[in-house]
């Protein structure tokens, strides 16, 4: 009996040792973090000298490891002084002064950067860009993080009255694929995504195979963070302008704020250069009439136009209308028959298309 008991105790102790030696953290499921995207993009030119530099990671990072010693920017051989903040899954390097003009700059995130499980980057992430000869007008752009990987992102569903045409990825979470309707989904063999003849891109849902669920959770969180960022910008350049009716107006770069909704009953023009930024904050809904258009002039780009919509209905675009910019809503986004958008539709409820066209902006 003693011999049997001794064998049993020895086995138990051995098992205990094995358990004690098992690595802590995420164990064998640990994934080395990487930088998934950057702003400016690698080799970008004409970058404004007064803008921040961002790096969006593929997972949640430890903010204490993202500092000016792990995220660095240099102009030639000269290190640029600045500070680093972390929002969602995005690190933001803000220079202490404007960058030198017409200069090749290099940004580096080194292996001192670690995720929340303690995993470091396997190797430094390095990208370069060339600055322009001047500064950009308007506020700093809203950081979209991984929400910027989608032309349409919704929490409760995306529907289409065929035939619509979307260029870019679609995602729904926490909703399942059954809440993507009207697209005639064809599942990939991996079950990580689906395809549709109406989409030049991939469609993702929360019930697809890994890593899609966690990727979508991160993207939705980034969308909500971007909404909060846009809504929280202070010191507007224009308040209650035209009582919210910007029909037939020409608007320069800046931060606009309304305690009401915004109406676009006739063409509105946004006039500015490629690095300029517009942020429109509205407590109410965004309503665009049939055949009305948002027109960009002077080199202005859709990726730098942000519409934060806080109303109880959301954003509605009339029949045959055309819209430009990134829409961030707490509620729904609805495109009526034949409406089109150049930008991203990021909704905390549903997105509805009806023979609509959506094209994500170039980065």
CA–CA separation, 248 and 217 (whole Å):
39
DSSP state of 6: H
pLDDT at 271: 98
CA gap 346, 247 in Å, rounded = 24
The structure tokens listed for 325 are 């910019």
Q: pLDDT below 50 — which residues of the chain?
A: 1-29
d(CA 260, CA 247): 15
Domain range annotation of the chain = 27-131, 145-359
Burial class (CB in 10 A: 0-12, 13-18, 19+), 60: middle
Tell me the sheet residues that pair with 167: 200, 359
Q: Tell me 245's DSSP state.
A: B
Residue (of 44, 73, 75, 120) closest to 83 by Cα position: 73
Alpha-carbon gap, residue 297 to 6, rounded angstroms: 84
Domain 27-131, architecture per CATH: Sandwich (2.60)
Whether the predicted model's global pTM rises above the 0.85 cut: yes
d(CA 184, CA 206): 18
Confidence (pLDDT) at 30:
62
- CA terminus-to-terminus distance, the chain: 74
Longest dimension (CA), the chain: 95
């Amino acid at each position: 009996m003693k011999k049997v008991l001794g064998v049993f105790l020895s086995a138990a102790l051995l098992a205990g040792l094995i358990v004690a030696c098992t690595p802590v953290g995420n164990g064998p499921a640990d994934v080395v973090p990487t930088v998934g995207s950057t702003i400016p993009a690698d080799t970008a030119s004409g970058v404004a000298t007064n803008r921040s530099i961002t790096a969006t990671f593929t997972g949640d990072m430890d903010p204490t490891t993202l500092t000016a010693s792990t995220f660095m920017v240099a102009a030639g051989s000269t290190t640029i002084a600045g500070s680093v903040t972390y929002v969602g899954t995005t690190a933001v390097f803000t220079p202490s002064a404007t960058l030198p003009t017409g200069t090749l700059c290099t940004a580096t995130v080194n292996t001192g950067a670690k995720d929340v499980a303690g995993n470091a980057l396997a190797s430094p992430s390095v990208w370069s860009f060339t600055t322009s000869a001047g500064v950009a007008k308007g506020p700093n752009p809203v950081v979209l993080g991984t929400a910027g990987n989608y032309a349409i992102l919704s929490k409760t569903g995306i529907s289409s009255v065929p035939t619509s045409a979307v260029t870019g990825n679609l995602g729904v979470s926490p909703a399942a694929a059954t809440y993507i309707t009207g697209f005639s989904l064809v599942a990939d063999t991996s079950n990580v995504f689906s395809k549709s003849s109406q989409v030049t891109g991939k469609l993702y849902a929360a019930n697809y195979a890994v890593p899609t669920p966690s990727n979508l959770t991160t993207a939705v969180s980034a969308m909500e963070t971007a909404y909060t960022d846009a809504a929280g910008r202070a010191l507007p350049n224009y308040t209650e302008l035209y009582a919210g009716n910007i029909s037939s107006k020409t608007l320069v770069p800046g931060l606009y704020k309304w305690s009401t909704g915004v109406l676009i009953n006739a063409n509105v023009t946004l006039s500015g250069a490629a690095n300029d930024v517009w942020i429109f904050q509205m407590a109410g809904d965004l309503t665009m009439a049939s055949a009305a258009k948002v027109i960009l002039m002077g080199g202005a780009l859709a990726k730098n136009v942000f519409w934060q919509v806080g109303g109880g209905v959301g954003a509605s675009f009339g029949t045959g209308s055309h819209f430009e910019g990134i829409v961030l809503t707490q509620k729904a986004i609805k495109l009526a028959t034949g409406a089109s958008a150049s930008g991203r539709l990021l909704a905390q409820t549903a997105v509805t298309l009806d023979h609509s066209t959506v094209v994500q902006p170039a980065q």
